[in-house]
Each structure stands twice: as structure tokens, then as C-alpha cells.
């Protein structure tokens, strides 16, 4: 492998395609309109600089509302004092070379493709030169370079407008796929919770999903449950990025969740024989699933993108990625606290781009700011998302978690109406919701509201879940329990 990149002595171009575009523009007003709406002067190469100048004159004519033909272009070139560089005979050559302007779209794409390729090669050169000057933060250098290259590559295709017939055909195919959904109406990855599935129809490909809460409300546990449910129910590979705790701690919570042995007992090793049997069975079950963990603390954005891309390449059927959590993602080694809001905005956009590029749902956990604690009801709203409004804008789904006993434990009282009140003492019995496992303290069972505050392709609403903190497990409440809760809320 060579130690240095070869120099590019001649940038790519297609002079004949450029001339075909200009010739078509000179003889057909419709072709001129299409080209002016699709190309810019920079899209024409320096291989024959006359083409750039002719296009510049055409742009000026268009701006001034004047027709474009050989004579008006000559007049404009004279006005721009460019007639020495471009002669009238060259314009007539352009016109005479065109048999029909009907192929203008084809020539425009050829010109645009060459322009994108030139820009890409020049960016490679810039990257090489920046590296040669010395790079202190390799992760940030790679991330920035990748973003630049991706931005250029996204320009590659010049898209025209779609006809109603084309769009209708796409919708027909989508409806046909949706009709293959199972009896639950699922078209995406199973969330593991009936009511949440009714809102989302499962996690959808290309979606960025935000799950936000205040610290210690249970967002890591719920994110872990989402990952496990996807791997278990849909039999798909799942990636879990844990920036806050080691993979072993996440696994301990998973084992507690599946074995119904309290996490505290697993951590201390204070186990009886029955506990050990349950733990062994849970570990065997989890080990069979295709779950992949990365526990790099304070991981860099570029590293997360690279690892997720690599995981998708190794497992093409990768079905879900969970990131815990957004606030710990580093944009660069040296960050400016004053620029954190912009960094979070860039991180959010990159995660959304990752979901679309890999064509998988990405669930990203996030924290809510302290403003929610200052409100009377303590119920979170979209504006409570921490650091950046861009998160709300980029996300396809935003879910906000509310747990009333969280505030009761802190000695704070919620003053809202309905369920937005502390009901630690008044809540209905949880007995009918408990799994058939050894009894546990009722106070470890918490009522959690998951507020689907944004759903780009569906409805919003509230999902009731039961959080068994000792097991790090979320369960659907029974219909009877939900009815009791609803009755209490109506009577409050």
C-alpha cells in the first residue's frame, strides 16, 4: 500500500455533455428552464472555461426575464465584457450540434455527476492536506471527514419531480407490504408493549426515536427492555451502546429482568438454590439472542457511527440500535461548553442520518432538563428536552417518561389533576399484575406513564406501564388494573 495518496493531475469532466446542455438551452426555452433549475455555474468544469461563461450569461438573462437564444446570449456576453473569451461562432457551433433537446435531463445528470466527482476528489485532497499538518483528535478528524464526504455524496443524483402515477405506485407497494402485517397490525419491530405498539405499529425502519426522562426515572431500564423485546420477539440482531454503565451491569439487569431475581441479590451474590436455577435459565435464554453491546464510556459520535455501520455490514438483518444516552456522546475531544447546544444539534442530525442510512430504527435515550421539576404538575413536555430544540425536530417519535412516585420519594408533591399527582398511597393494588414469581414489596412496583408526545407518522397519547424496579422490568398492566387507574383519575 502506498504511503501517500496519488495526486490528481486532471479533474474529471465531460465537455461534450456540457456543450449538449448549453446547445439545448439555446434552442428550447423549456430545456433552458430545466437546466437553470438543476445546475449552477460551478457544475461546469474548467476543461473548457467558455461553457461556464455561456451559462453565466444565460443565468443573467433569466434573472432579468429575457429570453435565451444565441443572439441574446451574445449581447449579454458583450455586456459582461466576456465576448473576447466566447465568440459568436462558438455559440452557433453549440446550436448546430444539437439534433433534439429532448435528452436534456440525461446531459444534465452527466454534467452534475462529474461536478460531484470533482468536488469529492478535491475534498479528499483537503483531508489529506489537513492530516499532513497534524491531527491531535483522530476521532473528530474522522467524523468531520466522514460528514464532509457524506454531504458531497448526497448531491450525486439530480432528482426530478415524480408523477402522480409514480407516487401512487410506491404507495400501492407500501400498502401491499402493510397488508402482510401480523394480526396486531405490526409493520415494524415489536416494542414489547401492546398499547405502545398500537401507537407506533412497531419501531419503523429509518426512524429516530427519543426516549427522555429525568435521572433515575427508569429510561435505561426501559431502553434495555426495548432492545431485549426486539431480539426476543422478532429474532433480529440488536445493537446496544451503553455510554453510562459497563456491559456487565446491563447484563445483570437483563438477567434480573428475565429471572425475576432482584438485581440487588444478583450483585451481592446472596442467592438461594432456586435463585441460582432461575439465573442460569435466564442467562441461557439471553445468550441465544443476537444482542451486541458496546460500553465505551463517553463514546465519540464518529465511533458510534462507525461501529453501527460495521455491525450492519456484519449482520445485514440488524433490526434495532439503542443508544444510552445522547448527553454523553462526545462530538470532539475538546468541547466548548458554550457551543454544546450546537454540538447536540449536530449529534441529533447525525443519529437521524444514521437511522436512514442503515434503514433501521435507532432509539436514543435523552435527559429532560430541570424545568420539569419546577413545574406544578411535574409532567414533562417537549420543550423539556435538554440542550437542543433540534432533538424534537429531528426525531420521528419522542416519548417522555413520568413516574409520580419518583417525586414522592424526593418529597415533592405534584399539583396537577388526574394522574399527574402523587398517588403512592392511593394507587390500586398491583397484585393482579404481578407475574407468577415469588412475592416482592409492593412499593417496588411503580406506575409509569410513557407520553408519546410526538409521532410523525401516527397518533400521540399516553401508555401505562408497570415498572418493577427490583427486576428492571416493565410490563403491560392488566385491563382491570388500567380500569381502576382510569376510575381514580376520573374521580380526582
Burial (CB count <10 Å: 0-12, 13-18, 19+), residue 61: buried
Q: Residue 228: pLDDT above 90?
A: yes
Structural domain contains residue 154: no
Predicted confidence band at 379 (pLDDT cuts at 50, 70, 90)?
confident
pTM score over 0.75 = no
Structural domain contains residue 423: yes
Structural domain contains residue 5: no
pLDDT of residue 385: 81
Whether 210 and 348 share a structural domain: yes
Whether 201 and 58 share a structural domain: no
Cell of 26: 439555446
Structural domain contains residue 149: no
Whether 274 and 397 share a structural domain: yes
HSE on the CB side for 119, CA within 13 Å?
18
Please state, for a pLDDT cut of 90, what percent of the chain lies above it.
35
What's the rounded mean pLDDT across residues 23-50?
Answer: 90
Of 134, 156, 172, which closes a domain?
A: 134
Predicted confidence band at 414 (pLDDT cuts at 50, 70, 90)?
low
Whether 129 and 223 share a structural domain: no
What is the tens place of the pLDDT at every residue in 301-316? 878 888 888 899 889 9
Whether 118 and 208 share a structural domain: no
**376 vs 56 pLDDT, higher one:** 56
Whether 81 and 225 share a structural domain: no
Predicted confidence band at 436 (pLDDT cuts at 50, 70, 90)?
very low
pLDDT of residue 283: 92
Predicted confidence band at 180 (pLDDT cuts at 50, 70, 90)?
low
Whether 98 and 230 share a structural domain: no
Whether 123 and 196 share a structural domain: no
What's the rounded mean pLDDT across residues 384-397?
Answer: 80
**302 vs 3 pLDDT, higher one:** 302
CATH of the domain at 414: 3.40.50.300
Q: Is 244 a catalytic residue?
A: yes
Of 96, 116, 134, which closes a domain?
A: 134
What is the rounded average pLDDT for all residues in the chain? 82
Structural domain contains residue 372: yes
Scan for cell 435531463, then name that residue.
105
Structural domain contains residue 172: no
Residue numbers of the domain that contains 314: 185-491
Q: Residue 336: pLDDT above 80?
A: no
Whether 189 and 122 share a structural domain: no
Structural domains counted in the chain: 2
Q: Most confidently modeled of 95-104, 182-191, 458-467? A: 458-467
Structural domain contains residue 25: yes
Q: Residue 440: pLDDT above 80?
A: no
Q: Residue 438: pLDDT above 80?
A: no
pLDDT of residue 160: 57
Q: Residue 437: pLDDT above 50?
A: no
Predicted confidence band at 172 (pLDDT cuts at 50, 70, 90)?
confident
What is the tens place of the pLDDT at every residue in 129-149? 888 888 887 877 887 788 788
Whether 102 and 228 share a structural domain: no
CB 290: neighbour CB atoms within 10 A? 14
Whether 127 and 240 share a structural domain: no
Predicted confidence band at 418 (pLDDT cuts at 50, 70, 90)?
low
Scan for cell 460551478, then name that residue.
42
Structural domain contains residue 461: yes
CATH of the domain at 69: 1.10.860.10
| Closest by Cα among 253, 261, 332, 256 to 295 | 253
pLDDT of residue 461: 92
What's the rounded mean pLDDT across residues 410-420?
Answer: 59
Whether 109 and 192 share a structural domain: no
pLDDT of residue 240: 94
Which of 244, 252, 290, 482 is labelled catalytic? 244
Amino acid at each position: 500500500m502506498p504511503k501517500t495518496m496519488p495526486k490528481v493531475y486532471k479533474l474529471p469532466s465531460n465537455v461534450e455533455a456540457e456543450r449538449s446542455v448549453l446547445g439545448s438551452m439555446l434552442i428550447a426555452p423549456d430545456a433552458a428552464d430545466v437546466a437553470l433549475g438543476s445546475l449552477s455555474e460551478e457544475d461546469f468544469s474548467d476543461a473548457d472555461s467558455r461553457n461556464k461563461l455561456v451559462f453565466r450569461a444565460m443565468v443573467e438573462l433569466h434573472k432579468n426575464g429575457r429570453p435565451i437564444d444565441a443572439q441574446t446570449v451574445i449581447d449579454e456576453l458583450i455586456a459582461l465584457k466576456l465576448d473576447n473569451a466566447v465568440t459568436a461562432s462558438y455559440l452557433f457551433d453549440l446550436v448546430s450540434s444539437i439534433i433534439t433537446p429532448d435528452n436534456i435531463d440525461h446531459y444534465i445528470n452527466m454534467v452534475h455527476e462529474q461536478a460531484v466527482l470533482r468536488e469529492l476528489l478535491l475534498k479528499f485532497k483537503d483531508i489529506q492536506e489537513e492530516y499532513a499538518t497534524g491531527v491531535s483528535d483522530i476521532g473528530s478528524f474522522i467524523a468531520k471527514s466522514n460528514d464532509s464526504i457524506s454531504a458531497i455524496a448526497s448531491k450525486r443524483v439530480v432528482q426530478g419531480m415524480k408523477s402522480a402515477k409514480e407516487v401512487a405506485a410506491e404507495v400501492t407497494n407500501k400498502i401491499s407490504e402493510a397488508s402482510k402485517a401480523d394480526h396486531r397490525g405490526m409493520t415494524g419491530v415489536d416494542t414489547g408493549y401492546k398499547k405502545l405498539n398500537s401507537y407506533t405499529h412497531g419501531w419503523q425502519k429509518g426512524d429516530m426515536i427519543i426516549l427522555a426522562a429525568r435521572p433515575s426515572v427508569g429510561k435505561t431500564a426501559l431502553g434495555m427492555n426495548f432492545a431485549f423485546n426486539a431480539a426476543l420477539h422478532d429474532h433480529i440482531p440488536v445493537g446496544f451502546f451503553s455510554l453510562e454503565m459497563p456491559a456487565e451491569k446491563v447484563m445483570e439487569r437483563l438477567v434480573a429482568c428475565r429471572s425475576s431475581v432482584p438485581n440487588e441479590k444478583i450483585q451481592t451474590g446472596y442467592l438461594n438454590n432456586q435463585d441460582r436455577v432461575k439465573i442460569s435459565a435466564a442467562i441461557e435464554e439471553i445468550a441465544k439472542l443476537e444482542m451486541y453491546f458496546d460500553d465505551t464510556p463517553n463514546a465519540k459520535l464518529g465511533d458510534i457511527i462507525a461501529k453501527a455501520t460495521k455491525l450492519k455490514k456484519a449482520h445485514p438483518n440488524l433490526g434495532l440500535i439503542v443508544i444510552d444516552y445522547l448527553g454523553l456522546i462526545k462530538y470532539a475531544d475538546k468541547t466548548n461548553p458554550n457551543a454544546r447546544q450546537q454540538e447536540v444539534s449536530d449529534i441529533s442530525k447525525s443519529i437521524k442520518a444514521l437511522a436512514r442510512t442503515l434503514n433501521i430504527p435507532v432509539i436514543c435515550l435523552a435527559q429532560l432538563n430541570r424545568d420539569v421539576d419546577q413545574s406544578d404538575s411535574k409532567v414533562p413536555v417537549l420543550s423539556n428536552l435538554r440542550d437542543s430544540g433540534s432533538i424534537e425536530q429531528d426525531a420521528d417519535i419522542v416519548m417522555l417518561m413520568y413516574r409520580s412516585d419518583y417525586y414522592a420519594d424526593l418529597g415533592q408533591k405534584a399539583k396537577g389533576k388526574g394522574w399527574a399527582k402523587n398517588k403512592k398511597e392511593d394507587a390500586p393494588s398491583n397484585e393482579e399484575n404481578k407475574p407468577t414469581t415469588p412475592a416482592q414489596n409492593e412499593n417496588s412496583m411503580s406506575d409509569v406513564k410513557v407520553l408519546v408526545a410526538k409521532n410523525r407518522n401516527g397518533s400521540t397519547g399516553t401508555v401505562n406501564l408497570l415498572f418493577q424496579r427490583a427486576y428492571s422490568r416493565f410490563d403491560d398492566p392488566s385491563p382491570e388494573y388500567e380500569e381502576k387507574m382510569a376510575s381514580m383519575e376520573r374521580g380526582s
